[in-house]
């Protein structure tokens, strides 16, 4: 691989969360990469919520780290607050959330990129992709400079033909203070790729010196720290509070009185907005029975007075936003530094890509992040990592990384994108996975570290940490099978606090299955349990307590995996298959699933269609014998 006269192995277009994961993965795997971005000062910028993680998203971050990515490492290095959400609920829905220092996060990522000798950073807008014989061979930027390359990864976020709306006023921009990217959309259309439009938005930023926090509910971080990355030496940093306030009847009155000034309600925005993160005006209209909505006040960083008003996304006029904000308890005198806005942008429906995130039309063209129709830093980072790994695999003509739904949330995310016709910005939710009890944030390393090792991103140090932990888990599970707790008065006096009682001795492997028993209780009974590291104890407790449920879901994976064994030939002519509707044929032709399992997940494909395909494939196999 060489770097000569604007010749690179790979070009990554966009330096958001997808672009950072993609370029660092490519560089770590030995490729010489050009990272082209509209503004080098906005690398890994958090233009919306300055936070990493949350429900389902924390699992994505842990999976990124297990595969050898960097988002978890950066979040651990720059957090202002760490909090485990749903800690009292089952392990499938527990979620770590890090409130991040926005500027520190950007600086951390930029340092990783600039210190890598395989990465060449350039502030430029890529306006054209050069394609010959169906393959990427180069790109051209806004200055007319031509670059030679064998692969391009598009991670353009909301920049493609982006347009910002504040009330009925609009202007060209991908996000506030940054120009939109023009030319590339037209280039993609020219090469036969379909584009559509989506919409997203962000809340206002307020000067924290004008906030009366005494009128709000304090939201503290956890005393016991949890981290995303499996790498060692994670910093213990001071934690800073967030706050909770609420909208009220007066807020809702102002919103309803000004809906005629909303570009969404006036029809000026054609793109579909995120279903699970609606604007405040959308919430008030859709959930009119709710007397109030939660609004969280979160710090943007230590070096700024800006506070983020989570839950208050809006595209109403700036003066109306001020009136709305000042109805909230604690924000009566709020000074708005940056208004909320909506942004409409072009994206590429991901049914046009394979599970490797390479375009079906153009070899060597990969897409990751919001350009595929997703919403969120974590979803973007996950796609960028997969696209980066596979761009190098494409250059080397080696096996592509295609994660299954049963292996990861990343696999679920990508499978949903490429097999379903997504109509609104896709957000990862625990409910999207049929295997969510197996795909937890706590076992991401078990599921994906061997894969990261196989594809070259997990180094010796990280892999040793993983194998040492797995050995410790096995030792502890075996110890619990032998360790017996006696029914003494001393033991029962401890258990009484947890509404438990022993009439006879019991092995810990059975006792731990009781709903009220965990390692915190066991530590009070015998000091040996206090010597077990938290991450090992967590795994052992979950594997023991939920053993029956886990076995049932593993059986489900095996049963549903049978459809994966039915491979669909690449040259199959769906138009000639009888007894399948024209609508189904059109969808199969468009998506071209590789297996019956993938075909079964395409929206609108019926079980009867799958049965017909199965019979056809079985006959095809017999005919080949």
Please determine, for residue 267, whether its predicted confidence score (pLDDT) is greater than 50.
yes
Q: What is the mean pLDDT of residues 188-202?
A: 95
Work out the average pLDDT over 528-535.
Answer: 94
| Residues in Cβ contact with 443 at an 8 Å cutoff, skipping those fewer than 6 apart | 539, 542
Would you say residue 557 lies in a domain? no
Residue 559 lies in a domain: no
* Same structural domain, 189 and 318: yes
Whole-number Å distance between alpha carbons of 472 and 61: 24
Per-residue pLDDT at 620 = 62
Q: In which region does residue 8 sit, left (phi positive, over 0), alpha (psi from -120 to 50) or beta (all else)?
A: beta
Please give the pLDDT value at position 231.
84
User: Region 561-565: what's the mean pLDDT?
Assistant: 76
Q: What's the whole-number mean pLDDT along residues 275-286?
A: 85
Same domain as 124, residue 57: yes
Examine the pLDDT at 548 and tell me if it is beyond 50: yes
Q: Looking at the domain assignment, is residue 558 inside a domain? A: no
pLDDT tens profile 323-370:
999 999 999 999 999 999 999 999 999 999 999 999 999 999 999 999
Residue 625 pLDDT = 32
Clarify whether residues 241 and 354 are in a common domain.
yes
Q: What is the pLDDT of residues 29-57, one digit of tens each?
A: 999 999 999 999 999 999 999 999 999 99
pLDDT (mean) for 439-460: 96
Burial class (CB in 10 A: 0-12, 13-18, 19+), 164: buried
133 Rama sector, left if φ>0, alpha if ψ -120 to 50, beta otherwise: left
- For the segment 192-203, the average pLDDT, to the nearest whole number, is 94
Domain boundary among 458, 492, 508: 458
Give residue 622's pLDDT.
40
Query: Residue 311 domain-assigned?
Result: yes
Contact predicate 594/419, CB 8 Å:
no
Judged against a pLDDT cut of 50, whether residue 69 lies above it is answered with: yes
Number of domains in the chain: 3
Q: Supply the CATH number for residue 581's domain.
A: 1.10.150.570
pLDDT at 272 over 60: yes
Percent of the chain past pLDDT 70, that is, above it, reads 98
The pLDDT tens digits of the residues spanning 211-241 come to: 999 999 999 999 989 999 988 878 899 999 9
CATH number for the domain harbouring residue 524: 1.10.10.1800
Residue 496 lies in a domain: yes
- Assess whether 429 and 496 both reside in one domain: no
Q: Which residue matches tokens 């297990």?
A: 66
Q: Residue 561: inside a domain, yes or no?
A: no
Q: Decide if pLDDT at 623 tops 80.
A: no
Q: What is the DSSP string of 334-353?
A: --EEE--EEEEEEE--GGGB
Q: Around Cβ 237, how many Cβ atoms within 10 Å?
A: 17
* Residue 541 CA neighbour count, 13 Å, CB half: 21
Maximum alpha-carbon separation in the chain? 83
Residue 360 covered by a domain: yes
547 and 398, same domain (yes or no): no
Whole-model pTM: value is: 0.92
pLDDT at 196 over 90: yes
- The burial of 348, by beta-carbon neighbours within 10 Å (0-12 exposed, 13-18 middle, 19 or more buried), is given as buried
CB distance 264 to 280 below 8 Å:
no
The answer to whether residue 276 scores a pLDDT higher than 70 is no
Residues 545 and 594 in one domain: no
Residue found by looking up tokens 């983020």 in the block = 308
Among 500, 530, 552, identify where a domain stops: 552
- The pLDDT value given to residue 406: 92
With 60 as the cut, is the pLDDT of residue 1 above it? no
Last residue in a domain, options 496, 522, 552: 552
Burial environment of residue 461 by CB neighbours within 10 A (0 to 12, 13 to 18, 19 or more): exposed
pLDDT of residue 207: 98
pLDDT on residue 4? 61
Asked whether residue 279 falls in the same domain as residue 390, the answer is: yes
Both 37 and 80 in a single domain?
yes
Check which CATH number belongs to the domain holding 180 and give it. Answer: 3.50.50.60
Q: Residues 280, 283, 284, 290: what is their CA dihedral angle, to the nearest 10 degrees?
A: -120
Domain contains 14:
yes
Name 594's Cβ contacts closer than 8 Å, sequence gap at least 6.
Answer: 355, 567, 568
Distance CA 473, CA 460 (A): 20
b/e per residue, 374-396, with b = 16+ CB within 10 A? bbbbbbbbbbbbbbbbbbbbbbe
Report the C-alpha gap between 97 and 83 in whole angstroms.
Answer: 5
Angle between helix 377-395 and 409-419 (nearest 10)? 80
**One domain, residues 522 and 575:** no
Which domain, by its residues, includes 474? 466-552
Kindly state whether residues 484 and 436 are assigned to the same domain: no
pLDDT for res 277: 74
Distance CA 309, CA 329 (A): 13
The residue among 303, 332, 331 whose CA lies nearest residue 240 is: 303
Residues 412 and 505 in one domain: no
CA separation for the pair 73, 257 (Å, rounded): 46
Span 90-104, average pLDDT = 94
End-to-end CA distance of the chain: 43
Q: Mean pLDDT score of the chain, rounded to an integer?
A: 92
pLDDT at 587: 81
Q: Is 427 found in the same domain as 376?
A: yes
Q: Are 369 and 380 in contact (CB under 8 A)?
A: yes
Q: Which of 21-25, 81-85, 513-517 bottoms out in mean pLDDT, i.e. has the lowest?
A: 513-517
The pLDDT, as a whole number, for residue 603 is 75
């Amino acid at each position: 691989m060489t770097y000569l006269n604007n010749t690179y192995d790979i070009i990554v277009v966009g330096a958001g969360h997808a672009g950072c994961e993609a370029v660092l993965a490519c560089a770590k795997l030995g490729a010489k990469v050009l990272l082209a971005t509209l503004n080098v000062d906005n690398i890994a910028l958090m233009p919306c919520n300055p936070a990493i993680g949350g429900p389902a998203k924390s699992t994505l971050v842990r999976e990124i780290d297990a595969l050898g990515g960097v988002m978890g490492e950066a979040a651990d290095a720059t957090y202002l607050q760490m909090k485990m959400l749903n800690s009292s609920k089952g392990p499938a829905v527990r979620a770590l959330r890090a409130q991040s220092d926005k500027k520190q996060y950007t600086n951390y990522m930029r340092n990783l990129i600039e210190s890598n000798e395989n990465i060449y950073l350039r502030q430029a807008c890529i306006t054209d992709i050069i394609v010959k014989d169906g393959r990427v061979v180069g790109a051209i930027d806004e200055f007319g400079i031509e670059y030679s390359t064998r692969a391009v990864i598009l991670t353009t976020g909301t920049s493609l033909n982006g347009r910002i709306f504040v009330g009925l006023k609009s202007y060209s921009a991908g996000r506030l203070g940054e120009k939109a990217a023009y030319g590339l959309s037209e280039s993609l259309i020219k090469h036969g790729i379909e584009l559509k439009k989506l919409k997203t938005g962000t809340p206002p930023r307020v000067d924290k010196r004008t906030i009366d926090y005494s009128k709000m509910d304090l939201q503290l971080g956890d005393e016991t720290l949890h981290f995303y990355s499996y790498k060692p030496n994670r910093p213990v940093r001071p934690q800073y509070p967030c706050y909770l306030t609420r909208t009220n009847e007066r807020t809702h009155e102002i919103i309803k009185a000004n809906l005629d000034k909303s570009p969404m309600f006036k029809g000026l925005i054609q793109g579909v907005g995120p279903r699970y993160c609606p604007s405040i005006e959308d919430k008030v209209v859709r959930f009119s029975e709710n007397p109030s909505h939660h609004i969280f006040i979160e710090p943007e960083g230590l070096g700024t007075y800006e506070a983020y008003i989570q839950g208050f996304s809006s595209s109403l006029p700036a003066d109306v936003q001020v009136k709305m904000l000042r109805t909230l308890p604690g924000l009566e005198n709020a000074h708005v530094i940056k208004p909320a806005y909506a942004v409409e942008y072009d994206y590429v429906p991901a049914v046009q890509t394979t599970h490797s995130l390479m375009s079906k039309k153009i070899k060597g063209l990969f897409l990751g992040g919001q350009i595929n129709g997703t919403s969120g830093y974590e979803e973007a980072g996950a796609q960028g990592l997969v696209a980066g790994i596979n761009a190098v695999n494409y250059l080397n003509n080696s096996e592509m990384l295609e994660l299954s739904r049963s292996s990861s949330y990343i696999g679920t995310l990508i499978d949903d994108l490429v097999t379903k016709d997504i109509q609104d910005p896709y957000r990862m939710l625990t409910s999207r996975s049929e295997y969510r009890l197996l795909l937890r944030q706590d076992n991401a390393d078990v599921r994906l570290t061997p894969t990261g090792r196989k594809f070259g991103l997990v180094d010796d140090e990280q892999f040793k940490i993983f194998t040492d932990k797995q050995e410790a888990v096995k030792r502890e599970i075996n110890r619990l099978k032998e360790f017996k707790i006696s029914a003494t008065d001393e033991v029962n006096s401890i258990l009484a606090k947890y509404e438990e009682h022993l009439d006879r001795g019991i092995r810990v492997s059975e006792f731990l299955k009781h709903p009220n028993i965990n390692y915190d209780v066991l530590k009070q009974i015998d000091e040996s349990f206090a010597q077990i590291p938290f991450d090992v104890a967590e795994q052992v407790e979950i594997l023991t307590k939920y053993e029956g449920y886990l076995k049932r879901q593993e059986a489900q994976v095996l049963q549903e995996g049978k459809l994966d064994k039915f491979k669909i030939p690449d040259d199959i002519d769906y138009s000639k298959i009888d007894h399948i509707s024209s609508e189904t044929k059109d969808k199969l032709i468009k998506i071209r699933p590789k297996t019956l399992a993938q075909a079964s997940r395409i929206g609108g494909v019926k079980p009867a269609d799958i049965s017909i395909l199965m019979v056809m494939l079985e006959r095809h196999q017999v005919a080949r014998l």
